[in-house]
Structure 1
Amino acid sequence: MQSEIESRVSRKLMWHIIPFVMLLYFVSFLDRVNVGFAAMTMNKEIGLTPAAFGLGGGLFFIGYFLFEVPSNLILHKVGARIWIARVMITWGLVSAASAWTAGPISFYSLRFLLGVAEAGFFPGIILYLSLWFPVKQRAAATAWFMAAAPLSTALGSPISGAIMQLPSVFGFSDWQLLYVIEAIPAIVLGFVVLRRLVDTPAQASWLNAQERDWLLAQMQTEAGQRAAHSDHVVGVWKALREPRVLVLALIYFGTSAGLYTLGLWAPLMIRRFGFDALHTGFINAIPSVAAIIGMILWARHSDRREERTWHVVIPCALACIGFIFAGRADTALMIVLALVIVNVGISAAKPPLWAMPSMFLSGAGAAAGIAAINSIGNLGGFFGPAVIGWLKQSTGGYAAGLYVVAALLAVSAIMTLILSRRPGRGSIASPVGSNH
């Protein structure tokens, strides 16, 4: 049972931190994947083939990969408030500049620069949450934060679809208006972050002295318990060489390939059944609503059971089955059902997965390790969309590419099981399979 002060602090953390970081991630994810809606008219207008679109869509993650660890280390030094504000303003400017894409080369360049601009945001928030939320609440807090991604699809898809129906304004095509309109919130929120975000619990004016002392003592106790383990990792270079970091990154690779395959290709997969942009947006929202519910319930179950391994394995396996089903779907109803299965699986796997690194990483090691997991793992966001585009151009359909992504999720599930069963000191799994 929670004590009265623990319950009070938990409620305040959830209300003061989670809605705001959810809003930031909502805007971030919208700017990442609105290219899937822009593609409905942009590809033809600027001469992008399916392979070129898939490649350019994925190049975001190359820029992301190269700058993720340095960005998160800077955040660890200067604080989340200043660095997250910088990230948001620069990615908003690059996203708006995408309206001036003129052909494959400029498309590739701007997608790469968008990844550079946004590098550090997601792992920075994961690191930020680990500084505020005790272990028992961390998966649930992460789930609420990450629910912004499917929520962005659920609400953003109809909005993007509606913008794509607008007439030309000042000579801008519908896809150009989409980029400009949806970039504005990121720039505005960047300045809000400077006033709104609090770096550490010690600075939180919305906690009274008793609540602040309790939270600081709780986080210090947990840090001490982690440090007592012989395989605890603090330093930057040690974290980057840590086998568990690499294995978690490879597990995350499969989930990222699945997530961004959905983000970039799902609108086009739905539209092939004859829907216009607006109806495609509403239909694309349905799987995301299911994903939000599944993600939060599954993360709460993971926290209650204090178990992570099977809470990653089962949804990865479910998403694998969903992609196979999507590859065989030949009606609109079948593709929607398949996308529901895939969305729920991928979304549910992520919060328990992101609760794992803080079990054995802290300090600068946590900043570097979490960024490395995210940057390497997000290369799946390059591979998934790119392989879909290449195989679609080669085969004329989506099935072959979807099966490849399904195989990656099967590998993620298997690697999670292997990770949890490696015994002994310095194991790459022992802190992952159970809470401490």
Structure 2
Amino acid sequence: MSIDENALFRKVSLRILPVLMLGFFFSYLNRVNVGFAKLQMANELQFSDAVYGFGAGIFFVGYFLLEIPSNVILHRVGARRWISRIMITWGLLSCATIFVRTPMQFYVMRFLLGLAEAGFIPGAIYYMSQWFPAARRGRAWGTFYIALASSGVIGGLISGSILEFFSGLGGLSGWQWLILCEGVPTIVLGVYIFMRMSEQIRTVNWLSDDEKNWLSGAMAAEDRAKVAHGFGGLLANGYVWALVAIYFLYNVGLYAISFWMPTLIQRMGAKDALAIGLLNAVPGLCAIVCMLAFGYSADRFRERKWHLIAAFSMAAVGFVLSVVWQSEPVLGIVALCVANMGVLSIPSLFWAVPTSFLSGVTAAAGIAMINSIGNLAGFVSPYMIGSLKQMTGRTDVALYVVAGGLVLGALLVAAVMQTRKGQRGLAANASR
């Protein structure tokens, strides 16, 4: 019996992606809501830009420490149990951040939050790679990463509104309501995932037997062509380390714009939190369209290298223009749109590369290794920007450094990534 592949993957997408996207939305919202909370928290708690930058970034130290173990455990105990555990734990710790009063308490809570959240994104990436073959992943991950852009669109509107209208309600500050309102839904979703998430292709009841057999066979055929070696092999693999470096440089740009965009918009002339939230949504809307276009194009042409170079270059240009046009509100927002479009188009293109040649527990560990080390940029980027801003009184130098890092990312992609013609030798190269 012939299988309608488009219909099959519509079923898979509708069952797999919405729940993971909602989890990703809450993940990123809980991770960066301190960017909006800073608008009130810094004054109320007397936190300097350096204190804020260090606290925002130390999250990623905890994240780094448990990322690989967390993804290996997920591979062993199943996505449903482990992703649920991750979400409930980080939701509880996120809510507890409302009790922070000193810089040290802020640092400790952010570090613990990083420990709790470690493994969610690489776990979701690994889980999706078990349901979508390589030719379908660009579109799947482009759709998945809409959640990242939406956290800037919807999250900005929600965060700005909470800061504006909830301040003082029940004796809590607006920033406390912000963290609480964005933490509780994470716990609820974690419980839902434990009850409802599908584990394996052959056990679901929403695919026919023919569809299960076809999809299982397609995924098994891909796995046979992939590399399956130990973690020591990953550490000795130069190609994997090149991917780590590329992903690190991407994250330098991502967390620069994520943690500091509300502050940059405020500098451009926005006066109140609601206006900042509304303007913060514009770059996210632009990014959604751009990342879907990149994902569709990359799948259609079976090409990642030049798409990634274009995305890195677009992001770098956007950061430079955000400095050049910082005194021009309209042009400044345009620059942030360009930067956001470039940055958020990178990950859905990037993750198709390691999942194309790693399988099994090696894929789980490899994805986690790339994600954990790469996400250390989440510590470096906001702390670097905060420190340079405190020393110079301006963000110009820091944003130029971020742009330079993105240019370096584009150059690394050009130097090390395989072209379409060279994809056949990737698995062999990776195993050396």
TM-score class, shorter: over 0.9
Residue number among 391, 409, 413 corresponding to 1:412 in the alignment: 409
Residue of structure 1 in register with 2:184 after alignment: 184
**CA 1:326–1:216: 2 relative to 1, 3 Å:** same
Q: 1:351 deviation in Å?
A: 0.8
**Residue 386 (structure 1) aligned with residue 380 (structure 2):** no
**Residue 310 (structure 1) aligned with residue 309 (structure 2):** no
Query: How far, CA to CA, are the matches of 1:137 and 1:367 in structure 2?
Result: 19
Residue number among 257, 275, 285 corresponding to 1:289 in the alignment: 285
Query: How far, CA to CA, are the matches of 1:53 and 1:33 in structure 2?
Result: 12
For residues 129-183 of structure 1, the C-alpha deviation after alignment (integer angstroms, 9 at most, x for no partner) is 1100011101111111111011111001011001001231232111111111110
For residues 27-82 of structure 1, the C-alpha deviation after alignment (integer angstroms, 9 at most, x for no partner) is 11111111011001101111111111111111111111111000000001001000
AA aligned opposite 2:257:
L
Residue of structure 2 in register with 1:276 after alignment: 272
Name the TM-score, length of structure 1 as normaliser.
Answer: 0.94
SS at match of 1:164: helix
Residue of structure 1 in register with 2:34 after alignment: 35
**Residue 266 (structure 1) aligned with residue 261 (structure 2):** yes
Alpha-carbon contact 1:420-1:430 (below 8 Å) kept: no
Query: How far, CA to CA, are the matches of 1:327 and 1:178 in structure 2?
Result: 29
Residue of structure 1 in register with 2:344 after alignment: 347
Query: How far, CA to CA, are the matches of 2:213 and 2:340 in structure 1?
Result: 40
Q: 1:430 deviation in Å?
A: 3.8
Query: How far, CA to CA, are the matches of 1:409 and 1:149 in structure 2?
Result: 19
Query: How far, CA to CA, are the matches of 2:418 and 2:358 in structure 1?
Result: 20
Alpha-carbon contact 2:159-2:178 (below 8 Å) kept: yes
Superposed, 1:29-108 pairs within 5 Å as 29-108=28-107
Query: How far, CA to CA, are the matches of 1:61 and 1:428 in structure 2?
Result: 35
Segments of structure 1 that go 5 or more residues without pairing to the other structure are 227-231
Residue of structure 2 in register with 1:214 after alignment: 214
Alpha-carbon contact 1:235-1:363 (below 8 Å) kept: no
Q: 1:4 deviation in Å?
A: 4.3
Q: 1:421 deviation in Å?
A: 6.0
Which portions of structure 1, spanning 4 or more consecutive aligned residues, are displaced by more than 3 angstroms? 427-433
Residue number among 355, 361, 364 corresponding to 1:364 in the alignment: 361
Q: 1:198 deviation in Å?
A: 1.1
Alpha-carbon contact 1:239-1:361 (below 8 Å) kept: no
Residue of structure 2 in register with 1:244 after alignment: 239
Query: How far, CA to CA, are the matches of 1:239 and 1:429 in structure 2?
Result: 17
Q: 1:429 deviation in Å?
A: 8.3
Query: How far, CA to CA, are the matches of 2:236 and 2:63 in structure 1?
Result: 20
Query: How far, CA to CA, are the matches of 1:97 and 1:257 in structure 2?
Result: 27
Alpha-carbon contact 1:54-1:389 (below 8 Å) kept: yes
**Residue 224 (structure 1) aligned with residue 224 (structure 2):** yes
**Residue 375 (structure 1) aligned with residue 372 (structure 2):** yes
Alpha-carbon contact 2:291-2:344 (below 8 Å) kept: yes
**CA 1:156–1:338: 2 relative to 1, 3 Å:** same
Q: 1:274 deviation in Å?
A: 3.6
For residues 365-412 of structure 1, the C-alpha deviation after alignment (integer angstroms, 9 at most, x for no partner) is 101100000001111111111111011111111111101111111111
Query: How far, CA to CA, are the matches of 2:379 and 2:299 in structure 1?
Result: 31
SS at match of 2:321: helix
Q: 1:245 deviation in Å?
A: 1.7
For residues 167-223 of structure 1, the C-alpha deviation after alignment (integer angstroms, 9 at most, x for no partner) is 312321111111111101100001000112112211221111010000001111111
**CA 1:429–1:68: 2 relative to 1, 3 Å:** farther
SS at match of 1:17: helix
**CA 1:421–1:365: 2 relative to 1, 3 Å:** closer
Query: How far, CA to CA, are the matches of 1:252 and 1:131 in structure 2?
Result: 22
Q: 1:305 deviation in Å?
A: 0.7
Segments of structure 2 that go 5 or more residues without pairing to the other structure are none
Residue of structure 2 in register with 1:171 after alignment: 171
Range with bigger deviation, 194-203 or 151-160? 194-203
**CA 1:432–1:95: 2 relative to 1, 3 Å:** farther
SS at match of 1:207: coil
- When the two chains are superposed, the root-mean-square deviation of aligned CA atoms in Å is 2.0
SS at match of 2:225: helix
Q: 1:236 deviation in Å?
A: 2.6
**CA 1:283–1:83: 2 relative to 1, 3 Å:** same
Equivalent pairs counted in the alignment come to 425
Query: How far, CA to CA, are the matches of 1:310 and 1:395 in structure 2?
Result: 37
AA aligned opposite 1:419:
V
AA aligned opposite 1:189:
L
Residue of structure 2 in register with 1:229 after alignment: none
**CA 1:215–1:421: 2 relative to 1, 3 Å:** closer
**CA 1:16–1:421: 2 relative to 1, 3 Å:** closer
Name the TM-score, length of structure 2 as normaliser.
Answer: 0.95
SS at match of 1:205: coil
Query: How far, CA to CA, are the matches of 1:429 and 1:403 in structure 2?
Result: 37
**Residue 300 (structure 1) aligned with residue 296 (structure 2):** yes
